Structure 1
């Protein structure tokens, strides 16, 4: 690829500058060359070289406004805001119509969290600048810092009106629409943008994402198709298209899309996992397993991969194999609540009740506070005769789920079993008040309690 004239000049200046540093000879550069050299080193994170270039530049051009503004930029980067401000005030007295002075003032105010004042400076910069898009984008960012998403969106849109190829502004506009839950408005805006810029693959891709959020998966596929037609190597669009095809239950087409991403770049664990899921949906067990194994090989720390392969064997009712993979997963990450929950479910299916109870306990200890975990755990405690502990767990669960009838009916049954009738009555009344319709849960879980006349009398009061 041929470099532009400006790029060739920039490369020549950089080579000349680095040669000067190696030989200790002093070469002359004009001030703009120095500015480009310094900004290049700042952009690439080589701050020591940027400082050296600035020092030499100011020695050769001590009155250059451009170099002093670059110095200000460097000082702001290093949080030396007071020194930067002093230089700016001196420059302002000389060149009050230089837009870069206002931009750097805004940067200082922004760093001090004075975002409204930063916007005021940028509004002044707008009256002097030729680069409206850049300043609009900066104003948009200040409004983002202030959590004013509507105003931010307005200025990012203005930025795109000045420069339709500013993709970061396009992403920011869509981010604002997303944050404000304005998916339909985002679709309308993107369609309008595409009418004027039909070959913007980024806009088509973002349109597809909005249709996906609106659960209009066919339209999402249509938009992603355009994105990939414009850019045949647009990996993100192929991935999103594949996800949409899965939602449409077009599993083979989704597999083809995922495989395209693997041709464009190294296979990701996400794509391998999704291909495995698609093959399982198609009933191709052999290929599903093959891709699940590829996923755990590619990324042994990906919990979704181990969960997929364990769940696969659970669905096949091959609990010994499922237990083998659950144990392997726990060997890699013993703090994963999802692994412990599956360990519990598998052991329950194998009638290893103490191991199952341990699994539910560990799952809870590692952050699982789902209702079904509490219920399954207490079921296991009841099976192994640990009723008191089951009551303790359910009382903890009421703090998370204070209005859950399933907890109340279980507490009622357990208290009755323990001979604590008053507490049993209290929780039975709670359960009946919360959900009378499902009161037969007592019969399912505690048949001996269900037949008690006192229990039936309480239930009868609510049926009337």
Structure 2
């Protein structure tokens, strides 16, 4: 993460000076280094247009600066302006042949164009130009991963992380490669070996925790993060990830405490404020939740999760008009987040706007069909309207999209029973019982009649005895 220098001549001061100049349409001179800091800040915040604006000022003030030209090439790659990027790279290579940084920019350019072999060749050349090759190894891993050559990707990711355990971002990439080969569980010992070699490496323990969390081994993940924190109490990332684990365990008070520690020891970001807000929201402390969501939006008014969090608070409080306002604000920023469409659909349905709700469920599904809640909520609209056939069609489509979800099996059971399809209902009931027996009690919510509940109980008992 970009570490800001908050001294009088640090990033905060430079940003204020720069943004004041832009806001008032004034003109000021900056050093190359200061402009690089501004550009890097915007790039890391994914504010590419603002980075380009700062870079153009840098080129205007320092037309012969190689650094500014290199930043411009990187920005153009992000903007997919590849013809212009190629021209810049040619000029840079003519001015400074065999430059390590220019090679890496050119490699990124090749990767953007899908020229994987050319990118690999450049990275292997770059290995001869550095005494700290871990970044090049990580890049090689990423290129091979894009080629779906997971064995080679694993090879280079491991080389990188062995040289520098602080490269936390590699861990998830490495885990995904192992996961794609169905060998992740077998290879967790790689991280365990790193902790054995250096028991006082907070990064080694953190990486082990990340991997256990990826495998949903929550207790093992907590233990690993706890070791990392015992080595460095101010390790903000470990506190945050511990909070994420507690959220998955539905231990929301502990999650709140972990996120608070992450804020105490790390940078105050919209992301961590929204995580903290969510932990309060899950405890039904909507005042504290909304305070944190609003603080996140003060830091970054384009942070969609802040609006989404405010929307979910309002929806839970049955303030549906306000919820719709916030969900729409989130969607104005990011129209490609399926959860935002799903939440908007649910809220519209609560308002009685069935046509809008159905439209938004479809939009959510178009973006991602693997969320069981989508199919449960979407199908229930048709069920509530008495269209059992459409409800059945949707829930069975959901079963195809979501592997082994007991809630969907039980919902299919209920829908078929209501539609007098006894045989099909029994098939789904059996699958639900073998997937998650304890979840079967949700069936009784559909059948409040005690006679029906007793009949269901006997059927379930009979199925379990046959097993």
TM range (shorter): 0.5 to 0.7
Go from structure 1 to structure 2 and tell me whether the alpha carbon gap of 1:295 and 1:194 turns closer, same or farther (over 3 Å shift): same
Q: Is the 8 A contact 1:211 1:220 kept in 2?
A: yes
1:338 equivalenced with 2:377 (yes/no): yes
CA distance in 1, matches of 2:94, 2:125: 18
1:219 equivalenced with 2:268 (yes/no): no
| Structure 2, unpaired ranges of 5+ | 1-11, 15-29, 40-53, 329-339, 363-374, 397-407, 434-439, 441-455
Go from structure 1 to structure 2 and tell me whether the alpha carbon gap of 1:375 and 1:59 turns closer, same or farther (over 3 Å shift): closer
CA displacement at 1:56 relative to structure 2: 0.9
Go from structure 1 to structure 2 and tell me whether the alpha carbon gap of 1:140 and 1:203 turns closer, same or farther (over 3 Å shift): closer
RMSD of aligned Cα (Å) = 5.3
Go from structure 1 to structure 2 and tell me whether the alpha carbon gap of 1:364 and 1:200 turns closer, same or farther (over 3 Å shift): same
Match of 1:435 in 2: 461
CA displacement at 1:180 relative to structure 2: 1.9
Q: Is the 8 A contact 1:150 1:176 kept in 2?
A: yes
Match of 2:177 in 1: 145
CA displacement at 1:79 relative to structure 2: 2.9
Residues 123-169 of structure 1: CA deviation (Å, up to 9, x unaligned): 77789x8xx357785477345313236267569989998897x9xx9
TM-score scaled by structure 2?
0.56
Q: Which structure: larger Rg?
A: 1
Match of 1:363 in 2: 391
Match of 2:294 in 1: 262
CA distance in 2, matches of 1:303, 1:104: 36
CA displacement at 1:47 relative to structure 2: 3.3
Residues 72-123 of structure 1: CA deviation (Å, up to 9, x unaligned): 443244232444555667777x769683776665555444444444555567
Go from structure 1 to structure 2 and tell me whether the alpha carbon gap of 1:270 and 1:436 turns closer, same or farther (over 3 Å shift): same
1:401 equivalenced with 2:401 (yes/no): no
DSSP-derived class of the 2:245 partner: helix
Equivalent residues in 2 for 1:16-415 (5 A)?
Answer: 18-19=59-60, 35=70, 38-39=73-74, 41-42=76-77, 45-62=80-97, 64=99, 67-68=102-103, 70-84=105-119, 99=133, 108-120=143-155, 132=164, 138=170, 141-142=173-174, 144-147=176-179, 148=184, 150=188, 153=191, 174-229=209-264, 234-241=269-276, 243-245=278-280, 251=284, 253-262=285-294, 264-265=296-297, 268-277=307-316, 288-289=317-318, 291-299=319-327, 302-304=341-343, 307=346, 325=352, 327=354, 332=359, 338=377, 341-342=380-381, 344-345=383-384, 356=386, 359-367=387-395, 370-371=409-410, 374-375=413-414, 378-379=417-418, 390=420, 393-402=421-430
Go from structure 1 to structure 2 and tell me whether the alpha carbon gap of 1:54 and 1:187 turns closer, same or farther (over 3 Å shift): same
Go from structure 1 to structure 2 and tell me whether the alpha carbon gap of 1:82 and 1:375 turns closer, same or farther (over 3 Å shift): closer
Go from structure 1 to structure 2 and tell me whether the alpha carbon gap of 1:342 and 1:153 turns closer, same or farther (over 3 Å shift): same
Go from structure 1 to structure 2 and tell me whether the alpha carbon gap of 1:309 and 1:367 turns closer, same or farther (over 3 Å shift): same
TM-score scaled by structure 1?
0.56
CA distance in 1, matches of 2:168, 2:276: 32
Go from structure 1 to structure 2 and tell me whether the alpha carbon gap of 1:6 and 1:224 turns closer, same or farther (over 3 Å shift): same
CA distance in 1, matches of 2:213, 2:416: 39
CA distance in 1, matches of 2:253, 2:13: 41
CA distance in 2, matches of 1:6, 1:160: 42
CA distance in 2, matches of 1:152, 1:6: 43
CA displacement at 1:184 relative to structure 2: 1.9
Residues 395-438 of structure 1: CA deviation (Å, up to 9, x unaligned): 333443347999xxxxxxxxxxxxxxxxxxxxxxx997863699
CA distance in 2, matches of 1:28, 1:330: 56
CA displacement at 1:363 relative to structure 2: 1.3
CA displacement at 1:293 relative to structure 2: 2.7
Q: Is the 8 A contact 2:172 2:211 kept in 1?
A: no
Go from structure 1 to structure 2 and tell me whether the alpha carbon gap of 1:161 and 1:116 turns closer, same or farther (over 3 Å shift): farther
| Structure 1, unpaired ranges of 5+ | 22-26, 278-287, 312-323, 346-354, 382-389, 407-429, 439-464
Go from structure 1 to structure 2 and tell me whether the alpha carbon gap of 1:152 and 1:38 turns closer, same or farther (over 3 Å shift): farther
Go from structure 1 to structure 2 and tell me whether the alpha carbon gap of 1:77 and 1:162 turns closer, same or farther (over 3 Å shift): farther
